[in-house]
Amino acid sequence: MASLVAKYGEFKEGLYAGIGIAIGYIPAALTYGLLAKSAELSLTETLSLSIFVYAGAAQYMALNLIVIGTGIFEIVLTTFILNIRHFLMSAALNEKAENEAVWKKAAYAFGITDETFSVAAMRRSSINAAYMAGLIIISYSSWGISSGLGYIVGNVLPQVVQESMGVALYAMFIGLLVPSLKTHTKAVILAATAALLNCIFIYSHTFSSGWAIIMSTLLAAVSIEAVDQMRHKGKL
């Protein structure tokens, strides 16, 4: 029984940690629903993408490609290229995952997005299936319900609020980063290096947005780790 209580506590913490994501998904998913309707998708098709794929940027991209009549294979391939960044995020999360049955990890892996990854990765303690379930359920529900609302009733929010809410997920990312910036110089250097590299890659059109995130993250993480370990060994 004690473990059940502990699990419930973890689940609630996950739900609570996901409120920022749920708020941030509302304007993005409303817009997605609206765009899907103008792309002449049915409500079932619109919701299917949100329910099964559950990847915002890929869903927007798919709408664009469907409208211009791109082939199925190219749509799937573009999705793969855009979403392969989650491999890196899952690998990082796996490092702080508690020892649990593999099927549980495979289940919560379904709900890993840029946003749920960021929240889970910045959690002070380790992560487990109960915490991830709470975090994912609130985020996933917001995404699915707002997609449907956007399709059926269009923009339910006043224009000014809709535009301002576009900042929500960025505000959340900043809110996740700031506590570490206060205490860890290494965190500042990592974030600033990856941010700079990502800007360079995006504005110079070196990589598409999915690859740009992978390359800027990896380059920053590897180079700074290398320098750090050389310093520890007294070679620098």
For residue 212, with 0-12 CB atoms within 10 Å meaning exposed, 13-18 middle and 19 or more buried, which class applies? buried
Residue 220's alpha-carbon distances to 10, 145, 189, 230, 231, in angstroms, are 32, 37, 9, 16, 16
Closest approach of another protein to the CB of residue 154, in Å? 20
Closest approach of another protein to the CB of residue 133, in Å? 15
The smaller minimum CB distance to another protein, of residues 63 and 149, is found at 63
Closest approach of another protein to the CB of residue 127, in Å? 11
Closest approach of another protein to the CB of residue 149, in Å? 18
Tokens 């800027």 -> residue: 216
| Alpha helices for 68-101 (secondary structure H) | 72-83, 85-94
For residue 103, with 0-12 CB atoms within 10 Å meaning exposed, 13-18 middle and 19 or more buried, which class applies? exposed
The smaller minimum CB distance to another protein, of residues 6 and 195, is found at 195
The smaller minimum CB distance to another protein, of residues 1 and 68, is found at 68
The smaller minimum CB distance to another protein, of residues 95 and 235, is found at 95
The smaller minimum CB distance to another protein, of residues 137 and 202, is found at 202
d(CA 47, CA 229): 48
Closest approach of another protein to the CB of residue 216, in Å? 5
Q: What is the DSSP letter of 127?
A: B
